[in-house]
Amino acid sequence: MTEDSQRNFRSVYYEKVGFRGVEEKKSLEILLKDDRLDIEKLCTFSQRFPLPSMYRALVWKVLLGILPPHHESHVQVMTYRKEQYSDVLHALKVIRFVSDATPQSEVYLYMHRLESGKLPRSPSFPLEPEDEVFLAIAKAMEEMVEDSVDCYWITRCFVNQLNSKYRDTLPQLPKAFEQYLNLEDSRLLSHLKACCAVSTLPYELWFKKCFAGCLPESSLQRIWDKVVSGSCKILVFVAVEILLTFKIKVMALNSAEKITKFLENIPQDSSDAIVSKAIDLWHKHCGTPVHSA
Amino acid sequence: MSARLCGPLQVDGSLSRGQGSHPWISDSGVWYVQIWVLENCSPLLTVFGARRGTHTQKVPLAACVHVCLAHVSRVQLGPPRWISFLGHVTEVYLVHLHASVYALFHRLYGMYPCNFVSFLRSHYSMKENLETFEEVVKPMMEHVRIHPELVTGSKDHELDPRRWKRLETHDVVIECAKISLDPTEASYEDGYSVSHQISARFPHRSADVSASSYVDTQNSYGNATSTPYSTSRLTLNTPGQLPQTLSSPSTRLLAEPPQATLWSPSAVCGMTTPPTSPGNVPPDLSHPYSKVFGTTGGKGTPLGTPATSPPPAPPCHSDDCVHLSLPQATAPKKEERTDSARPCLHRQPHVPNDRGLEELHGGKGSVTLSDLPGFLGDLASEEDSIEKDKEEAAISKELSEITTADAEPLVPRGGFDSPFYRDSLPGCPRKTLSASSSTQGTSANPEPLNSSLDKSGPDTPKQAFTPIDLPCGGTGESPAGNRERQASLEASILTPSPCKIPPQRGVGFGSGQPPPYDHLFEVALPKTAHHFVSKKTEELLKKAKGSAEEDFTPSASPMEVLDRLIQQGADVHSKELNRLSLPSKSVDWTHFGGSPPSDEIRTLRNQLLLLHNQLLYERFKRQQHALRNRRLLRKVIRASALEEHNAAMKDQLKLQEKDIQIWKISLQKEQARYNQLQEQRDTVVTQLHSQIRQLQHDREEFYNQSQELQTKLEDCRNMIAELRVELKKANSKVCHTELLLSQVSQKLSNSESVQQQMEFLNRQLLVLGEVNELYLEQLQNKHSDTTKEVEMMKAAYRKELEKNRSHVLQQNQRLDTCQKRILELESHLAKKDHLLLEQKKYLEDVKLQARGQLQAAESRYEAQKRITQVFELEILDLYGKLEKDGLLKKLEEQKPEAAEAAEERLDYCQDGCSDSVTGHNEEAPGRNGETKPSRPGGARGGGGGGGRGGGSSSELSTPEKPPNPRAGPFSSRWETVVGEPTSGTPTTVGSLPSSESFLGMKARELFRNKSESQCDEDGLTVGSLSETLKTELGKDSGVEARAPLTLDGPLLPAPKPDSVGQLRIMDYNEAQLEHS
């Protein structure tokens, strides 16, 4: 990290003492100051540290390619994005696919489908599974991002990333999950296996929806930071950590249905801790990502 | 009221007695009663007025007054008539009556002037009463001032009880006295006094004047007033002596009624009684005198005593009478009376001597008054004060007589007067002298009566004084006077210059009275006051000692005369029997026919009673005066206290003044100091000012200096700036020179190098030269012949050498420059390379940026396209719906049955369609497999190939365009023509409407673009549709079958080559794009 030299010399001690994220904001600001944003650095940063919420949207937009790395073109590109958003929305309204009463996530969904040319003949068409994923993510994103344009774009790109970048890795995740769970707590895994719950675990929720609707947004966005920055393995560790956290309860449940039901509706009070632990776990198993450049 | 109250008294008292004793005397008894009444009336009036003012009512008062006056007038007029009956007795009564009426008049007038005057006016306006008025009332009115109430008051107001409530009885008396001009009655206290005195004198004179003829009654009046006169005279004197008189009385002045009259103390001492009593006495005396005098002189005790002394003297002196005990005659009083009685007694004895002069009396009576001045003058001239005193006493009495006598000019009873006159004279030891003088006076008098009035102006004062003195002197001279000469001296001192007599007289009185009064005073007066008074008197004594000698001679006062008379009468009475002489004597002496002795005794008793009454009256008066005196004493004490206070205040004032002076001095000092300080301050201020000026001046100088310095500083700065500029210039020059130097050094180095070269060349040259020489030597040695040639050669060689040298130089220089150039170019090249790199980087950046934007724009464009596709799809949908609705309507109109058939067909057709769609769906992947790898653009191309009308985007589609437009009309025609007969057409039309129209083709094309799979399906469906159409149409009618052929024939074969071509083109394009 080149910017380490510019950082406060106390930062080392901060981290030693246990204060995290004191200098992260500053270093992120330094990163964001570069005229041509170094996307790899940003990726590394967001993988290593939690993003400050005020820069999260920007970083995500840059990482997801909604904004170009050049600051100069940000405005123009953003106007394009906005116009596109408004055009599409207008079109949807014109063909009466969407009205003011339509929930925003559905609007995003239709917009996304329109842009991808998959707009159903009528809004009453049944939703496909990918639409469900999109809706869940859009709902979660709605909570995280205020601006509807940003929200739409981030959602769309996030989903696109899931569909394009992680298309191949996502199906591998359940196996990885089993592997890491075995590493962490083999007993639990064996219990799951005994219950035949391994196959029925809510992989869809965990890995396709990226925990959207499972965890509260505040903790979810910390996971998505990692996802956006290119690592979908974090999802595995989150799932592992969830199981580890609710191990006792899970162990108490014997039937696969109950386990899945429970896991689909886990209590949300400890989500922050889960996420923190999951990140730690992730760092532990995958090592802290270092900027290759 | 008073009358009523008094009425019973008289009845009780004397009337019954009188009546009882003598039936025919009833008249006289009545008179007596009336006199009694009147005598008591005036005091009662005052008492009632003061204490119960409410009770005094107008009517009874008026009635009373009326009755009284009427009686008086009757009596006065009556005498001629009554005299025969009453003889001298009536006269005696008359005197009493007069006196009492007079007193009553005064009271009434003093207390109720308005009522009284109005009564008088109403009563005497009648002609019948006019006479009485002239004779009785008028004379009385002459002794009265105009009452102020007449002006200010009213009848009702007078009767207001509140008026008297605040006043004591004696106050009322004094109030009344203020109005009176009669010296006996008048008061001298208040503001009235002066004018009063003056006015009091005039009445005298007028009285004198008028009195000449008036003898009998006048006497009574005169007697009543006589002593007052004296007092009045005294008062006249007093004005000059006032201060002394005031002080004097205390000691023995008490004895000096004349002076003291002003002075209440004398009155307090009971002196009032003596003066008044003599007043009363004389009339009595006078009356007796005329007739009784004889008796008295001869020993008419019965008459004399009752008439004169009885009231005052008898009770006190003899203490015989029981009722006399009533008056609280104290020891001193008795003594006084005894003293005063003596002279009276003396007089009486003497009177007979003078009897011969009776005739003169008439003249004398009148004369005395008028003569007063003359007498006074004479007396004053005379050495014997005693004589003077006597004379004056006599004169005063006479005056009083005259005044009273004025009322009765008719009565030619000079005899009364004369005896009286003598009486008074006899009072004095040296009667003869006085008699002579009096005779002289009398002789003189008749003439000057009038003249004296005229004369009086200047002389009056003296005369006024003298008469007063005289009585005083007389009294003083009286036996009592012998006792104490010193006292007389003192008195004389007290009554200083104007009249020697009064003091003497005072002494006379004082000698008798002082001892008895002294202790009284000690009781009455506080010690301080006593002390004060004594002190004053001492002072006065000291002052007056010189003049005191003259006043020596004692003279009998009317009081003494009265006393003596009474005493004598008493003596006679005691010595001789009643029956013996009195009647006879009286008969003898009087001109009237003798009255039976028994009658006389009665009359005498009556007279005694009268006198007693008189005495009571006077005692009452005395008491009042005593009261008043006490009050005045209090005033004196207060005054003395005030004086002391005043003195103390004065002392204080002095002290304060001293203080003030001290303060003033200190103030002056302070002022001086202040001035000094101010001056100092001024000087300091001026100094400071000057300093300030100096400093200011200095400051200005400094300021100027500083300014100069500043200007200098600026100059210096400028200089410095200039110098700096110069420095800069110099620096620049230095730099320049350095540059030059470097250049020069470069040049130098160049030149050095050149020099080195030159040296090198020179060496070469030398070497060459040596070589040349060697060659030359060789040549010379070998070819001496060829010298010319050699020389030529040499020259050529040299030239060539020089040329070569210069060429070498040039070449060297060129080389240098070239080398430098090369270096520069190399650096340039490096820079350019660097720049190029930078440019490349930048370009990449820009590219990236542009790509980012382009991507955004592209995505937007994509979105737009999608949107438009959606829109078109929607529009097509709507069109389809519209056309379908229109066809349905037509069918319904034309043939309901056909409609049914059409429906059936439509159902069939749809089934067919769906079958075909499914069938073609399977084919689609295979057919479009070639195009698949291509991008949407390729797909589009494929779609365009798939779509029959998709020529718009492909070059090959253009030749197919004609059929398309043709297809439009054809289809429309076909629709119109075929649509009618066949109900099946609508079904196909419903699925194919858009394929015939341009829009439809376009939509299809777009539709195909939406998604590859859909596009393919659409394309297949279209194809299948056309096939089905063909079959259907072929079935329906051969004629119309041509239209589909024409329609679809060219269309169907066309797409495939088109699409292929398109694909290729698109692929190429794509490839191009990708490559780019």
Across residues B460-471, what is the average pLDDT? 37
Cα end-to-end span (Å), chain B:
167
Per-residue confidence band for B467, with pLDDT thresholds at 50, 70 and 90:
very low
Nearest CA to CA, how far is A171 from chain B (Å)?
25
CA B933: distance to chain centroid?
Answer: 120
Closest residue to A68, CB basis, from B849, B866, B867? B849
Tell whether the model's pLDDT for residue B768 goes beyond 50. yes
Contact criterion met (CB < 8 Å) for A72 and B859: no
Summarised one tens digit per residue, pLDDT across range B920-933 is 444 434 444 444 34
Q: What is the DSSP code (8-state) at residue B293?
A: I
Across residues B166-193, what is the average pLDDT? 68
Q: Which residue is closest to B842 within chain A, CA to CA?
A: A36
Do B135 and B408 contact (CB within 8 A), yes or no?
yes
Lowest mean pLDDT among B493-507, B567-581, B834-848: B493-507
Percent of chain B as helix, strand, coil, to the nearest 5? 85, 0, 15
Interface test with B, best of A37, A90, A95, A111 (most B CBs within 10 A): A95
CA atoms A231, A233, A235, A241: torsion sign = negative
Contact criterion met (CB < 8 Å) for B863 and A88: yes
Per-residue confidence band for B639, with pLDDT thresholds at 50, 70 and 90:
very high
Helix (H) or strand (E) holding B297: helix B294-298
| pLDDT value, residue B695 | 93
Q: Any CB–CB contact under 8 A between B848 and chain A?
A: yes
| pLDDT value, residue B863 | 84
Q: Using CA atoms in the order A185, A187, A188, A192, what is the torsion angle rounded to 10 degrees?
A: 140
Q: Which residue is closest to B1012 within chain A, CA to CA?
A: A117
| pLDDT value, residue B404 | 45
CA–CA distance, B218 with B365 (Å, rounded to integer): 9
Which residues from A are below 8 Å from B when comparing CB atoms?
36, 65, 67-70, 72-73, 76-77, 80-81, 83-84, 87-88, 91, 94-95, 114-119
**Residues ≥6 apart with Cβ < 8 Å to B439:** B357, B360
Map residue A70 onto helix, strand or coil: strand
Contact criterion met (CB < 8 Å) for B867 and A88: yes
Q: What is the DSSP code (8-state) at residue B595?
A: P
Nearest CA to CA, how far is A151 from chain B (Å)?
16
CA–CA distance, B721 with B727 (Å, rounded to integer): 9
Q: Any CB–CB contact under 8 A between B864 and chain A?
A: yes
Tell whether the model's pLDDT for residue B117 goes beyond 80. yes
Residue B851: list chain A partners with CB under 8 A.
68
Q: Any CB–CB contact under 8 A between B871 and chain A?
A: yes
Per-residue confidence band for B570, with pLDDT thresholds at 50, 70 and 90:
low
Interface test with A, best of B848, B851, B870, B1018 (most A CBs within 10 A): B870
Tell whether the model's pLDDT for residue B480 goes beyond 60. no
Write a three-state SS string for B1-45: CHHHHHHHHHHHHHHHHHHHHCCCCHHHHHHHHHHHHHHHHHHHH
Residue recorded with tokens 């903790």: A219
Per-residue confidence band for B74, with pLDDT thresholds at 50, 70 and 90:
low
Q: Which runs of E-coded beta strand occur in chain A?
A: none
Smallest Cα–Cα separation from A233: which of A278, A197, A188?
Answer: A278
| pLDDT value, residue B69 | 57
Summarised one tens digit per residue, pLDDT across range B276-289 is 333 333 333 333 33
Contact criterion met (CB < 8 Å) for A70 and B852: yes
Map residue A44 onto helix, strand or coil: helix
A236: which 2 tokens? 């595995």
Tell whether the model's pLDDT for residue B377 goes beyond 50. no
Structural domains of chain A in order of their starting residue, each with its CATH number: 19-164 (1.10.8.680), 170-286 (1.10.472.80)
Tell whether the model's pLDDT for residue B801 goes beyond 70. yes
Backbone phi, then psi, for A7, in 5-degree steps? -75, 160
Map residue B180 onto helix, strand or coil: strand
Residue B864: list chain A partners with CB under 8 A.
84, 87
CA–CA distance, A200 with B854 (Å, rounded to integer): 45
| pLDDT value, residue B8 | 32
Summarised one tens digit per residue, pLDDT across range B680-703 is 999 999 999 999 999 999 999 999
Nearest CA to CA, how far is B886 from chain A (Å)?
23
| pLDDT value, residue B669 | 94
DSSP string across B117-163: HHHHHHHHTSHHHHHHIIIIIHHHHTTBPPPHHHHH--HHHHH-THH
Q: Burial code of B811-820, b = ≥16 C-beta within 10 A, e = fewer?
A: eeeeeeeeee
Contact criterion met (CB < 8 Å) for B867 and A114: yes
Q: In this structure, which amino acid lies at residue B225?
A: T
B650: which 2 tokens? 């004065």
Residue B869: list chain A partners with CB under 8 A.
117
Nearest CA to CA, how far is A116 from chain B (Å)?
8
Tell whether the model's pLDDT for residue B329 goes beyond 80. no
Summarised one tens digit per residue, pLDDT across range B837-886 is 999 988 888 888 888 888 888 888 888 888 888 888 888 888 898 999 98
Question: How far are the Cα atoms of B102, B453, B983, B1025 from residue B197, in angstroms, in the given order?
Answer: 19, 16, 176, 177
Residue B1010: list chain A partners with CB under 8 A.
117
DSSP string across B333-354: HHHHHHHHHHHHHHHHHHHHHH
Cβ neighbours, 10 Å, residue B163: 18
CA–CA distance, A8 with B534 (Å, rounded to integer): 129
Residue B935: list chain A partners with CB under 8 A.
none
Residue A77: list chain B partners with CB under 8 A.
852-853, 856
Percent of chain A as helix, strand, coil, to the nearest 5? 65, 0, 30
| pLDDT value, residue B409 | 39
CA–CA distance, B329 with B326 (Å, rounded to integer): 8
Crossing angle of helices B896-928 and B1012-1036, rounded to 10°: 140
Higher model confidence: residue A178 or residue B164? A178
By percentage, how much of chain B surpasses pLDDT 90? 12
Tell whether the model's pLDDT for residue B107 goes beyond 60. yes
Tell whether the model's pLDDT for residue B578 goes beyond 90. no
Residue ranges of chain A whose pLDDT lies below 50: 1-4, 291-293
Tell whether the model's pLDDT for residue B891 goes beyond 70. yes
- List, as ranges, residues 108-137 from B with C-beta within 8 Å of A: none
CA B8: distance to chain centroid?
Answer: 68
CA–CA distance, B947 with B1001 (Å, rounded to integer): 7
Closest residue to B857, CB basis, from A80, A94, A115? A80
Question: How far are the Cα atoms of B263, B649, B859, B897 from residue B79, in angstroms, in the given order?
Answer: 40, 67, 176, 190
Contact criterion met (CB < 8 Å) for A70 and B864: no
CA B123: distance to chain centroid?
Answer: 63
Summarised one tens digit per residue, pLDDT across range B510-552 is 343 444 444 444 444 445 555 555 666 666 666 555 444 444 4
Smallest Cα–Cα separation from B306: which of B280, B326, B275?
Answer: B280
Closest residue to B866, CB basis, from A36, A65, A117? A117
CA–CA distance, B814 with A63 (Å, rounded to integer): 62
Q: Which residue is closest to B1011 within chain A, CA to CA?
A: A117
| pLDDT value, residue B213 | 37
By percentage, how much of chain B surpasses pLDDT 70? 35
| pLDDT value, residue B697 | 93
| pLDDT value, residue B805 | 95
| pLDDT value, residue A214 | 79
Tell whether the model's pLDDT for residue B172 goes beyond 70. yes
Mean predicted lDDT score pLDDT of chain B: 58
Closest residue to B853, CB basis, from A36, A76, A119? A76
| pLDDT value, residue B814 | 95
Beta pairing partners, B563 = B341
Question: How far are the Cα atoms of A77, B268, B807, B858 from residue B846, in angstroms, in the given order?
Answer: 14, 153, 56, 17
Across residues B644-661, what is the average pLDDT? 93
